[in-house]
């Protein structure tokens, strides 16, 4: 079994790259909601995505690359879930999103 040291494989540049991808996804996805319940669900999803993205930036600023990387992946997952649940339109982008 190979044990990798995350500090040797996870870089600031890699975290910034994923932050950029998530920012693109957040900007590209547009609402598809048609009911008040769907709007409430989408608001929750996007709030979670934004909170995790902010956490990622905070951890990155503190030099905590592991938590920053984890947080940005959670942020993107929340956006992706919105697309998968058809609360957000991913506009056919199968690179940024897991399409329905």
Q: What is the CATH number of the domain that holds 51?
A: 1.20.1270
78 within some domain: yes
What is the reported pTM? 0.89
How many structural domains are present in the chain?
1
Quick count: other Cβ atoms within 10 Å of Cβ 6?
9
76 within some domain: yes
Give per-residue burial for 36-51: e unless 16+ CB within 10 Å, then b: eeeeebbeebbebbee
Reported as a single tens digit per residue, the pLDDT across 39-98 is 999 999 999 999 999 999 999 999 999 999 999 999 999 999 999 999 999 999 999 999
5 within some domain: no
7 within some domain: no
50 within some domain: yes
Residue 52 structural domain: 31-100
21 within some domain: no
The pLDDT confidence band at residue 17, using thresholds 50, 70 and 90, is very high
């Amino acid at each position: 079994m190979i044990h990798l040291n995350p500090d040797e494989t996870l870089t600031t540049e890699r975290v910034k790259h994923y932050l950029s991808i998530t920012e693109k996804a957040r900007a590209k996805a547009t609402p598809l909601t048609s009911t008040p319940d769907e709007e409430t669900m989408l608001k929750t999803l996007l709030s979670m995505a934004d909170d995790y993205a902010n956490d990622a930036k905070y951890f990155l600023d503190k030099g905590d690359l592991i938590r920053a990387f984890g947080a940005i992946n959670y942020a993107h997952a929340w956006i992706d879930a919105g697309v998968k649940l058809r609360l957000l339109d991913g506009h056919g982008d199968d690179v940024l999103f897991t399409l329905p």
